[in-house]
Structure 1
Amino acid sequence: EAVIELLRVLLRHVSESEDINPRLIASPADLNNFALGLDSPIAHGWRDEVFGHHARALMNGKIALQIKSGRLVLIDVA
């Protein structure tokens, strides 16, 4: 599904920025559950601080992904 793919792109971006293996932040099942609005480790603790709040903002239309000078960046839209 497109939503999960977008979350994967965001996860890759965040994990590279934070120098954390993306598998430590979220598994494919975690991303799927989060996208479906189900409970997920992404929404709790350090995972929420590092990734979950960005994922919620993206899904709520408050941030967007943009390519700027050949690099992926997060931009505020709301």
Structure 2
Amino acid sequence: RQVLEPTCKQDIYRELLGYARAKGKKEGWAYYAYQAFLKEPPDRAWRSSSLQSKPLTPEMSSWIKGYNIRRAKSHAKYGT
């Protein structure tokens, strides 16, 4: 993967946060999805409910779809 600027990383987290809020998931889902996407945890300063979410890009929407499929297959194979 390419090296991303901190603002790009925050935008990624905001997109994941927007998806989590729209689907009724807990905000922790965005934290773990971000870790899966970038292989590092998000900045602690971003973990507040006042952070504004951002609409999904087609690329992020596609990644989330694959992420959900991988998680479902893993849960089916290994259990919860």
| Structure showing the higher helix proportion among its residues | 2
Bigger RCO of structures 1 and 2 (CA < 8 A, at least 6 apart): 2
Q: Which has the larger radius of gyration?
A: 2
Is the TM value for this pair above 0.5? no
TM-score, with normalisation over the residues of structure 2? 0.35
